[in-house]
């Protein structure tokens, strides 16, 4: 059984429907990608999964439990963690305080010291800047902090929205490497990416979202060779 199952979910903003019955699932311990053009509803889907937006219909099941209607703040406690689009850091708080906030949940608190060591090892830059206000970090450092804050939550499922956006290629590769590391540790990952090529290259499985619906899915290796995908998203 899949760890996270999204079934026929519809949602939107006000009267505007964005998701038209999205269905996807994440296998435990796997790295899954969700790709699709701009404005097709990827971020909206993630916000709905997390409970920041209520689903209009459909169900979201996490670890066998229906979590469709649970408020966002209960998700971190269950180990369902989102690194949101646009980083959404606590810009007025220090780097260390942001990491502390990441470990808000009861499940993460006992592992605070271990996780802090882990993220400082992954991103030594953050350790150097631990007393600096998050808002004064460079764009790349902010993205590191956003990911690190997510790891501090001790996630079972870590969802990352636009990891590579606006970052230098070297840093993108470094961040993707850290994702592989997380997968080795047994964390289930869902990656939403503009960089379709790179995302599918490290993923186990992929979903393609178009117009608020999953248009295509399959093992990442297969998708990367799919004619339609190569034409539409890879420009090949």
Partner 1 sequence: MQQFSLLLTSLPDGILLGFVYGLAAMGLTLIWGVMNVINLSHGPIIALGMFGTFFLFMRAGVNPYVGLIPIAVVGVLLGVLIYVIAVHRVINAPHLSSLLATFSVNMIIIGLGTAALTTSPYNVDFSAGSFKIGPVTLLGTRLIAALVTMLFTGGLYLFLYRTRPGKFIRAVANNRAAAELMGVPSTRILALSFGLGTMLAMVSGALIATFFPFSILAGGSYELKSFVIGVLGGLGNPIGALFGGLILGVIEGIIPAFLETSWVPVIEFALFVLILLVRPSGLFGAKK
Ligand X SMILES: Nc1ncnc2c1ncn2[C@@H]1O[C@H](COP(=O)(O)OP(=O)(O)OP(=O)(O)O)[C@@H](O)[C@H]1O
Interface with partner 1 (CB under 8 A): 50, 52, 71-77, 81-82, 84, 88-93, 97, 100-102, 104-105, 108, 149, 153
Annotate 194-228 with DSSP letters as a single string: S-HHHHHHH-SEEEEEETTEEEEEEEHHHHTT-HH
User: Are 41 and 233 in contact, with CB atoms under 8 Å apart?
Assistant: no
The count of residues interacting with Mg ion (CB under 5 A) is: 3
* Alpha carbons 67 and 130: distance in angstroms, whole number: 35
CB 110, min distance to ligand X, A: 34
Of 133 and 213, which has the nearer Cβ to partner 1?
Answer: 133
* Alpha carbons 143 and 147: distance in angstroms, whole number: 6
* Alpha carbons 3 and 5: distance in angstroms, whole number: 7
54 binds ligand X (CB under 6 A): no
18 binds, among ligand X, Mg ion, partner 1, none (CB under 5 to 8 A by kind): ligand X
Chain positions 17 to 46 lying near ligand X, rule: CB under 6 A, are 18, 36, 38-44
* Alpha carbons 208 and 36: distance in angstroms, whole number: 5
CB 225, min distance to ligand X, A: 23
Of 39 and 219, which has the nearer Cβ to ligand X?
Answer: 39
Residues 40-59, one symbol each (x = binds Mg ion by CB under 5 A, - = not), give: --xx----------------
Beta strands per DSSP E along 57-98: 57-62, 65-66, 80-83
CB 76, min distance to partner 1, A: 3
Largest Cα–Cα separation, the chain: 49
* Alpha carbons 171 and 21: distance in angstroms, whole number: 35
CB 52, min distance to partner 1, A: 6
39 binds, among partner 1, ligand X, Mg ion, none (CB under 5 to 8 A by kind): ligand X
Q: Which residues bind ligand X (CB under 6 A)?
A: 13, 16, 18, 36, 38-44, 85
């Amino acid at each position: 059984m899949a760890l996270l199952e999204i079934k026929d979910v519809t949602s939107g903003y006000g009267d505007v429907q964005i998701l038209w019955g999205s269905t996807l699932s994440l296998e435990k311990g796997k790295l899954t990608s969700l790709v699709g053009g701009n404005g097709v509803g990827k971020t909206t889907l993630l916000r709905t999964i997390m409970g920041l937006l209520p689903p209009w219909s459909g169900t979201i099941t996490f670890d066998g439990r229906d979590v469709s209607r649970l408020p966002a703040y209960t998700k971190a406690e269950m180990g369902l963690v989102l690194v949101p689009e646009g980083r959404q850091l606590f810009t007025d708080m220090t780097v260390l305080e942001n990491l502390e906030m990441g470990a808000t949940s009861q499940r993460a608190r006992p592992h605070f010291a271990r996780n802090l060591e882990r993220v400082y090892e992954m991103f030594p830059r953050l350790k150097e800047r631990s007393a600096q206000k998050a808002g004064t970090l460079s764009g790349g450092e902010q993205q590191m902090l956003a990911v690190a804050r997510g790891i501090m939550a001790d996630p079972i499922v870590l969802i990352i929205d636009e990891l590579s956006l606006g970052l230098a290629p070297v840093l993108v590769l470094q961040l993707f490497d850290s994702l592989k590391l997380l997968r080795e540790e047994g964390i289930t990952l869902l990656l939403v990416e503009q960089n379709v090529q790179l995302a599918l290259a490290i993923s186990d499985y992929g979903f393609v979202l178009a117009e608020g619906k999953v248009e295509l899915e399959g093992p990442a290796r297969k998708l990367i060779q799919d004619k339609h995908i190569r034409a539409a998203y890879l420009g090949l």
